[in-house]
Amino acid sequence: MFKKTLALLLAAALAVGITSCAGGTDGKDNSGNANNGGQAETKELNLWHYWDSESQQALLADMVKSYKDETGGPTIKISYIPYSEYIQKILVTAAGGDLPELFIYDGNSTATFVEAGILADITDRINESGVMKDTLEGVVAEHEVAGKLYGFPVYANCVALFYRTDLIETPPTTWDQLYETAKSVATDDMYGFAMAGGAGEDAVFQFLPFMWSAGEDLDNVAAPGTVEALDMFSTMIKEGVMSSDTVNHSQEDARVLFETGRVAMMLNGPWNVVPLQENAPDMEWDLAMIPKKADGEFASILGGESFGIGKDTDIDGIWNFVEYLVEPERYQEFLKGLGQLPADSVLAEDPYYQDDPINKVFIDQLKSARPRAYGGKYNEMSKALQTAISSAMSGDQSAQDALNDAAATITPLYEEFKASEGK
């Protein structure tokens, strides 16, 4: 009897998704050894990333190598960690107190990482060295928590409107025009407009520009401008102008609709330009700013990746490498190699971006891009907004009711964040 019970309990235990894997013990054991070894010999610095493309990895490797060869600086060991394990790995290592000196992360996570005690405060160094002196305002704000800077951008991106030039002569600039244009080009085989709406950050990422354009914010997501925007999308879905599966679409799904000729307009970012060109080389399309509310301003959302410096690591050592890396000419080449946009107003003046019609729109749109700088509990706010968006888009609730529910969760979190900013 007992044996059987035990066996079954163990079987049951195996079955349950245990969330305790974020514990810190094994990280500690490894890190202790690594540290001792490192200090005795010439100090080796670490750079962590999750870039899986070979060309991007080669850029990092070249940068590190030329740094060592040209300046005689220390070896920087590059470690690739798949994105799916990245944050977990960093959190575990932080518990063991052996963070990498330099690591790449999603710039939007700055506040969360600061709260987790992962990022070093580098305000003074950034100000002294002028690393961010020409950086776009929104990008600076993204790296700022309670007045201190905790990272600097590798590159920035944002969302813009893609449209088929063979179907649409003048792209819409206001919400009303967006709706009218989408409706006029929609046929049985073609949607007018596509965006991400799935459960996940994608939906919020593409929805926030509309909220901001209406002059609203997360303090009250049930405000009229935000409701109007969500209502417009729900209406387009109901009328068949947008796919009824929008609530299940990521930004990549929107791109697939576009490149297979099933939608005339979509919201997307520069990272989907190359796949689009490769998969649909003959398609005629162009870019425009995200339509704004008639009496509002153009707005977009800031994405992109950043460099962070691990808390309690050898900041002096790694800062030499940072200064080497961000020397304008070298950095410009690095960014071009990556195929990404600079988060810097001076670098953006380069003809490489200004003379290229695609880059030009994104560079312009970037100026209106705002960060999701809402503190360490942004993910909770985002989740509530995701629920509201999908609830309204699936026709389960009206946009007003769905956003009322979301506001009940988001407003207190927003006020908590504002209060912490004031401190």
Partner 1 sequence: MKKQKSPLLNSGKKFFRSGRYIDYSFTVPALAFIAIFMIYPIWYNIVMSFKEINISNLTDASQQKFIGFANFSAIFADKYFWNSFQNTFVFVLFSLVFQFSVGFLFALYFNKQFRGAKWMRAIILIAWMNPGIITGAIFKWLLAGDIGIFNYLLMQIGIISEPINFLASTQTSLASVILGNVWIGIPFNMVILLSGIQGIGNELYESAVIDGAGSVKKFFYITVPMLKPTIMVLLLLGFIYTFKVFDIIYAMTSGGPANSSQILPYYSYEQSFKMFKFGEGAAASCISFVLIALLAVVYIHFSNKEEMEA
What is the binding site for partner 1 (CB under 8 A)? Answer: 1-5, 8-24, 88, 91, 94-95, 112, 115-118, 198-200, 243-248, 262, 376-377, 379-380, 383, 386-388, 390-391, 393-397, 402
Shortest distance, position 227 Cβ to partner 1, whole Å = 16
Distance CA(82)–CA(91), nearest Å, equals 14
* Alpha-helical regions (H) of 199-260: 201-213, 224-238, 251-259
Shortest distance, position 334 Cβ to partner 1, whole Å = 31
**Do the Cβ atoms of 103 and 45 come closer than 8 Å?**
no
Q: Between 10 and 346, name the residue whose CB sits nearer to partner 1.
A: 10
**Do the Cβ atoms of 302 and 372 come closer than 8 Å?**
yes
Q: Between 91 and 358, name the residue whose CB sits nearer to partner 1.
A: 91
Shortest distance, position 347 Cβ to partner 1, whole Å = 33
Q: Between 129 and 409, name the residue whose CB sits nearer to partner 1.
A: 409
Distance CA(163)–CA(263), nearest Å, equals 9
Integer Rg of the chain from CA: 23
Q: Between 75 and 398, name the residue whose CB sits nearer to partner 1.
A: 398
Q: Between 331 and 417, name the residue whose CB sits nearer to partner 1.
A: 417
- Element spanning 339, H or E: none
Shortest distance, position 391 Cβ to partner 1, whole Å = 4
Instruction: Give the distance between the most distant pair of CA atoms in the chain.
Output: 79
The total of other beta-carbon atoms located within 10 Å of residue 419's CB is: 10
Per DSSP, the three-state class of 263 is: strand
Shortest distance, position 377 Cβ to partner 1, whole Å = 8
By C-alpha distance, which of 20, 56, 54, 40 is closest to 338? 56
Shortest distance, position 407 Cβ to partner 1, whole Å = 15
Q: Between 86 and 212, name the residue whose CB sits nearer to partner 1.
A: 86
Q: Is the dihedral of CA 379, 202, 232, 216 positive or negative?
A: positive
